[in-house]
Chains A and B, each alone.
Chain A
C-alpha cells in the first residue's frame, strides 16, 4: 500500500492480560485466550483474530472471534467503533448477513482505544477473485434480498442517533455535497460538473428514507462457497434513498471488469432486482435505478479526486492515492455516456 508503514504486530502480552480479565468480568466466568493473530485490514482499523475458551457463565464454550479497534495511527473517521457496533447490531437484528456482533468495550484502560468483538466469518471478498467464478443468479438474488432486509430499518432509531437527521431530499443533498467537495479542490473538473448538472436536472421526488450501507458492492461482500457470509465495511452507512444502495451495487464501475454481469460482475441485474423486490415488496423502476447509477459514478469520481488530492497536496504521499486520479477518465466516460448531450 504505497509508502504506508508495514503491518504492526500482534496484541502485546499486557494487552492480552487486561483483555482476558475484562472478558472474564463480562462473561462472569474464567476466560482462556487460545490464540491471537493480527489480520490484514485497513490502515484505520486493526483486526485481530481472537480464539477464546469460556468456562461457563454467560457465554460458555469455544469462540472464534475478531477484535476490531482503531489503529494507533488512526485519524478521525466517519464512524467510531461504538457507532460501527451499533450499526452491526441494528443490521443483525434486521436479518442482514453480518458477522454477529458480541460485545463492545469503551473503557480505554483495556486496550488504549475502544474495541468490539464479533464472530469470525470465512470467505472471499476480493472482487478481482470473485468475478472469475461462474456468474451466479442465485447469489445475486440473495444479495438483493440481503439489501432489502437492511432497508427495513427506518428513522428515527435511538441507538443510531449519531447518524444525524435523515435528509429530506437525498438526491439534491448529494448533488450539493459533491459540488461543495469539488469546490475545495484546486483543479476544475467540467466532466464531473456535467454529471452533477444532469443529476440536479433529473432529481427524483424524494421518497422513502431507510438505513443505507452506502458502500454495498462487490469487494465489501464476503462470499463463501457461493453464499453470502458477511456484509462488511459499514464506514459510510447513513440515512438515504434505498435506490442509492441499489445504484451503487449495479454501477458499471463496481463490476471488476466483467461488465456483462451487471450485478456487481457476479450475476445478472434482473436476478438482483427480483431478489430485492420480492423481499422488500417495493417495486423498482429501471429509470430510477439509472439515475442512481449516474450518481454512483459521480460519487466515486469525487471520492477518487479527493484521494488523489491527499497525495498531490503532500498530506499523504502514496502511489495508490496518486493512481486513483487516473481511474477518473474511466468514470467520466461512463458519466458522459449515460447522461447524453443535454444536461
Chain B
C-alpha cells in the first residue's frame, strides 16, 4: 500500500514549499531537490494508477481468504503477523508489494538491489 502522503497530497506540499521557498537561502538547492523528488514520485504514482492497489488487494484476498478494503485487508494481515498466524506466502506477498512501492518511490534503489542480487 502506498505510503502517505501520496499522489496529490505529495504534489500539494511540493507546490506549497516551492511557493514559500527563498531562492537565496543557504539550503535552496536541498529544497529544490526535495521538490523535484516529490513531484517525480507523484508522477510515477499517477502513471501506475490503481494497478498496484488492485494487484495488492487480489493478493491479500487470496492470502487471507477474506474480502474487504485494501486498508482493512492490510490491517488483517498486520494483525495475523503480530499474532504469529501469518499465512504461508506472506513474505512473498510483502516483497511484491514493497517492490511495487519502491518502483514508485525510488526506482534506482530497486534497480541497484536487483543488480546486486
Contacts and interface: CB of A to CB of B under 8 A. Distances in A.
A343 B20 CA distance: 46
Nearest to A341: B91
B22 interface: yes
Interface string B1-20: 10111100110011011001
B43 interface: no
A2 B33 CA distance: 11
A305 B3 CA distance: 9
B74 A3 contact: no
A311 B12 CA distance: 12
Contact of B5 (A194, A325, A342): A325
A194 B101 contact: no
A333 B110 CA distance: 9
A106 interface: no
A340 to B, nearest CB: 7
B82 A2 contact: no
B78 A322 contact: no
Contacts of A330: 102, 105-106, 109
Name A's interface SS: helix
A163 to B, nearest CB: 29
A40 to B, nearest CB: 7
Nearest to B91: A341
A169 interface: no
B81 A40 contact: no
Given A3-B16, A326-B41, A329-B101, A190 B35 contact: no
B82 to A, nearest CB: 5
Interface stretch (A50-58, A150-158, A232-240, A312-320): A312-320
Contact of B82 (A197, A317, A325, A332): A197
Interface residues of B, number: 48
Contacts of B91: 194, 336, 339-343
Interface string B68-88: 000100110110011010100
Interface residues of A, number: 42
Nearest to B88: A341
Nearest to B89: A341
B3 A194 contact: no
B95 interface: yes
Interface in A34-69: 40
A7 B99 CA distance: 39
B82 A193 contact: yes
Contacts of A322: 5, 9-10, 13, 38
Interface in A92-129: none
Nearest to B1: A187
Contact of B4 (A190, A197, A312): A312
B27 interface: yes
Contacts of A327: 105
A74 interface: no
Given A308-B3, A330-B105, 15 more contacts: A187-B74, A188-B1, A188-B75, A191-B94, A311-B5, A322-B5, A325-B3, A328-B3, A329-B98, A330-B102, A330-B106, A333-B110, A333-B113, A336-B98, A342-B91
22 contacts: A2-B31, A3-B20, A187-B4, A187-B71, A188-B77, A188-B78, A189-B78, A190-B77, A259-B112, A311-B5, A312-B4, A317-B16, A318-B13, A319-B31, A322-B5, A325-B5, A329-B98, A329-B106, A330-B102, A340-B91, A341-B92, A343-B81
Interface of A: 1-3, 6-7, 40, 179, 187-191, 193-194, 196-197, 259, 305, 308, 311-312, 317-320, 322-323, 325-330, 332-333, 336-337, 339-343
